[in-house]
Amino acid sequence: MNKTAQMQHIDRVLSVAHDVHADDTETDPIRRSWKRCIKDYGLDPARSPAARIVPSQQLREHQEQIEEFLRVARAGMEQMYKRISGSDYVLLLSDAEGITVDYIGHESAAHELKPAGLYLGADWSETYAGTCAVGTCLVERKPITCHQDEHFGTSHIGLTCTSAPLFDPEGKFLAVLDMSALRSPREKDSQLLAVHLTSMYAQMIEDANFLRHFRNDWILRLGSTWELVDVSGDAMLAFNEDGLVVGANTGARHLFSAAVGRKLEDLFGKSVSDIWRVARSSYGGERSLITSELSRSFYISVMHPQRCSTSRPSLPATAARDYPALDRLAGEDPQMQRLLDQAKRLVNRRLNILVHGETGTGKEVLAKALHESSERAKQPFIAVNCAAIPESLIESELFGYTAGTFTGARNKGMKGLILQSDGGTLFLDEIGDMPLHLQTRLLRVLSEREVLPLGAEKAVPVNLTVIAASHRDLRNLISEGKFREDLYYRLCGATLHLPSLRDRADRDYLVEKILREEAELLNADGRLSGAARQLLLCFSWPGNVRQLRNVLRYALALADGEEILPEHLPREVTDSIMPGAMALLPAARHADVYVGALAVEPESARLLRSLRNNKWNVTAVSAELDICRATVYRQMKKFGIVPPNRQS
């Protein structure tokens, strides 16, 4: 901006700030801020300070204050940045004091961005930087666009910045999300999309933080659209097993004057079990609920707590048990229960699903169970491992070919796997290994819902539901240019993350289930000795459930109808135990003898330590470890821990 324009800007700011009669000062947040800058903070638009980047130690102190929230926010910012990458915008996250505690932007432009304050550590408080999107949002607590010469100081008047506030789960002001650029068109309207995007991601981050905070409570989502209420309710209420509201997100706080501390019955005029029944109904009309307080109707859905609760008297125990194929996949593991709950909501939603998980965690098993639970269950389930088919064959295998397309091919041509799965489910395992040119063809099939076999002139319509899986991070493959971003978004109508076996608390359930299945195949009586069971529960399972199945198959064969002992297990399992522990195992009588084995398992070791410290008082242990008493007993049983007074 030239000198004359700068002088005009300074005059304008000063005249607005000193004009006590200006009508619009009360309604326009920018002008209100100009007044504050001059009258309250004593700033001078002619002496606009250079950007201030706080020293790294100070930055770390600011970050540490909101460390957990930052992790959630980072995930949201990365997703948001993907949507705007290629444009010249950067993303800033500032804390409640205006310090930029996280930032995403092009490092190649750092030499321009840093002096302008569009950088990590920049101080955007209104008292220092004057009117700006972050600082003014901190004061106004609503979304703001501060476009070019709406900034207070002349050093910022080239920037365009849009921000939205973020509140913590208790409704306290927490941070500001900001999207800024060094250059933009002259018209402020050019930033309309930025306003929507920033507000949308701010709400998404805030809600993710709310769900993290209340992960051990029940969540009631309220939405105005039936199709979306499971994934993005407009309002969320967290409640405990007595139906008492313990938290309300920003949407719910706007709806209800005071929801926290009240019973759901008060707000909706229905009992918790009625609300639960409505939430479980699969039909749109039946899933709506009218609030007695607002006389407004909402579609609702209910999410389970992650951790087991001691009691849930008002919630019918059978409510979540509608899909046996899915229910069979896990025992009492909170992560798996959450995943299955999520999976059940996706059944018959006509969404493509992406399943992540280490090798052998059961991605295909989950895909099959989703298929069997759906109304497509009688149609084919076709599984293709993209890494296992040679690249030269994968195209013809998937898309098929017409007669005479290749020499040596079948005379009549071949119906490809995509058409074979018409009406059913196509499971594409190791999708990250699919060659790029086939990704383009698959994208076309998904968007146009038709396939063009090799050599064919006419496309064939196909009704396709794809579940894709990968043990590699597809987002990394996208950034390396090895996976198409548009295909990724087509595939991830929903994403499910399977935990690795070592992180599952239901290993004993899987051991029993797979042992039964494998023993049945051998027509044998599969029994595990206590010592062998401990070894299986303590092993780290790098090959996950597949490895567990292989180990049990091997042990059954070696035990030859007898009880499975440690010596029937493969060396990879027995050798993983701490030296010395093996010698103790076969002779073991009491749980304490297994401590050597348990020491490799933090969960069981922690439980044992807590039991000993609390003199085997289960109530005290339950309070110390923040788990219910029933879980303490279940875990003791699982890890074979016997209290001293029960040891013979």
Ligand X SMILES: Nc1ncnc2c1ncn2[C@@H]1O[C@H](COP(=O)(O)OP(=O)(O)OP(=O)(O)O)[C@@H](O)[C@H]1O
Smallest separation, CB 356 to ligand X (Å): 10
Residue nearest to ligand X (CB): 362
Position 359 contacts ligand X (CB under 6 A): yes
Position 364 contacts ligand X (CB under 6 A): yes
Residue whose CB is less far from ligand X, 245 or 326: 326
Residue whose CB is less far from ligand X, 24 or 572: 572
Residue whose CB is less far from ligand X, 482 or 546: 546
Residue whose CB is less far from ligand X, 385 or 405: 385
Q: Which of 177, 272, 329, 451 binds ligand X (CB under 6 A)?
A: 329
CA-to-CA dists, residue 477 to 408, 484, 489, 633, angstroms: 35, 8, 13, 44
Smallest separation, CB 359 to ligand X (Å): 4
Position 361 contacts ligand X (CB under 6 A): yes
Residue whose CB is less far from ligand X, 89 or 541: 541
Position 471 contacts ligand X (CB under 6 A): yes
Rounded CA-CA distance 139/160 in Å is 19
Stretch that binds ligand X, among 289-297, 342-350, 436-444, 510-518 (CB under 6 A): 510-518
CA-to-CA dists, residue 637 to 66, 506, 508, 595, 640, angstroms: 38, 12, 10, 14, 5
Residue whose CB is less far from ligand X, 231 or 383: 383
Which residues, other chains included, contact 369 with Cβ-Cβ below 8 Å and sequence gap of 6+? Answer: 323, 325, 326, 328, 329, 343
Position 343 contacts ligand X (CB under 6 A): no
Size of the site for ligand X (CB under 6 A): 18
Smallest separation, CB 331 to ligand X (Å): 9
**Looking up tokens 């304008």, which residue turns up?**
12
Smallest separation, CB 586 to ligand X (Å): 28
Stretch that binds ligand X, among 95-103, 179-187, 352-360, 532-540 (CB under 6 A): 352-360
The phi and psi torsions of 85 (rounded to 5 degrees) equal -65, 145
Helix (H, G, I), strand (E, B) or coil at 179: strand
Smallest separation, CB 549 to ligand X (Å): 5
What Rg do the C-alpha atoms of the chain give, in angstroms? 30
Residue whose CB is less far from ligand X, 179 or 552: 552
Helix (H, G, I), strand (E, B) or coil at 209: helix
Residue whose CB is less far from ligand X, 194 or 329: 329
Q: Which of 105, 247, 357, 526 binds ligand X (CB under 6 A)?
A: 357
Nearest to 168 by CA among 128, 220, 214: 214
Stretch that binds ligand X, among 15-23, 313-321, 357-365, 611-619 (CB under 6 A): 357-365
Helix 391-399 vs helix 436-448: crossing angle, to nearest 10 = 10
Rounded CA-CA distance 270/276 in Å is 10
Residue whose CB is less far from ligand X, 115 or 570: 570
Contact (Cβ atoms closer than 8 angstroms) between residue 555 and residue 564: yes
Position 120 contacts ligand X (CB under 6 A): no
Stretch that binds ligand X, among 79-87, 110-118, 542-550, 632-640 (CB under 6 A): 542-550
User: What DSSP string describes 80-141?
Assistant: HHHHHBTBS-EEEEEETTSBEEEEE--GGGHHHHHHHT-STTBB--HHHH-S-HHHHHHHH-
CA-to-CA dists, residue 389 to 385, 392, 433, 434, 435, angstroms: 7, 8, 10, 10, 11
> Binding mask 399-438 vs ligand X (x if CB under 6 A, - otherwise)?
------------------------------x---------
CA-to-CA dists, residue 167 to 164, 214, 253, angstroms: 10, 15, 11
Smallest separation, CB 467 to ligand X (Å): 11
In the region spanning residues 269 to 328, those forming contacts with ligand X, defined by CB under 6 A, are none
Stretch that binds ligand X, among 219-227, 506-514, 556-564, 633-641 (CB under 6 A): 506-514
234-238's contacts with Cβ under 8 Å and 24+ in sequence apart are 234/298, 235/298, 236/207, 236/210, 236/211, 237/264, 237/267, 238/169, 238/210, 238/214
Position 546 contacts ligand X (CB under 6 A): yes
Position 362 contacts ligand X (CB under 6 A): yes
Q: Which of 130, 243, 247, 360 binds ligand X (CB under 6 A)?
A: 360
Rounded CA-CA distance 522/321 in Å is 31
Stretch that binds ligand X, among 178-186, 362-370, 395-403, 623-631 (CB under 6 A): 362-370
Smallest separation, CB 83 to ligand X (Å): 30
Smallest separation, CB 514 to ligand X (Å): 5
- HEC letters along 442-467: HHHHHHHCEECCECCCCCEECCCEEE
Structure tokens that stand for 603 in this block = 């969960």
Contact (Cβ atoms closer than 8 angstroms) between residue 591 and residue 641: yes
For residue 459, how many other CB atoms are within 10 A of its CB? Answer: 14
Smallest separation, CB 171 to ligand X (Å): 40
Contact (Cβ atoms closer than 8 angstroms) between residue 453 and residue 400: yes
Q: What angle do CA 69, 75, 79 make, to 5 degrees?
A: 145
- HEC letters along 1-28: CCHHHHHHHHHHHHHHHHCCCCHHHHCC
**Looking up tokens 């300074």, which residue turns up?**
10
Smallest separation, CB 508 to ligand X (Å): 13
Smallest separation, CB 49 to ligand X (Å): 55
Q: Which of 208, 228, 319, 365 binds ligand X (CB under 6 A)?
A: 365
Rounded CA-CA distance 579/363 in Å is 34
In the region spanning residues 253 to 272, those forming contacts with ligand X, defined by CB under 6 A, are none
Position 596 contacts ligand X (CB under 6 A): no
How many CA atoms lie less than 13 Å away from 181 in the CB half-sphere? Answer: 16
In the region spanning residues 435 to 464, those forming contacts with ligand X, defined by CB under 6 A, are none
List the beta bridge partners of residue 468. 354, 428
Smallest separation, CB 441 to ligand X (Å): 22
Smallest separation, CB 333 to ligand X (Å): 10
Q: Which of 263, 345, 502, 549 binds ligand X (CB under 6 A)?
A: 549
Position 383 contacts ligand X (CB under 6 A): no
Position 514 contacts ligand X (CB under 6 A): yes
Structure tokens that stand for 602 in this block = 């933090």
Stretch that binds ligand X, among 69-77, 269-277, 354-362, 403-411 (CB under 6 A): 354-362
Report the residue count for the chain.
648
Which residue ranges make up the site for ligand X (CB under 6 A)?
329, 357, 359-365, 429, 469, 471, 510, 513-514, 545-546, 549
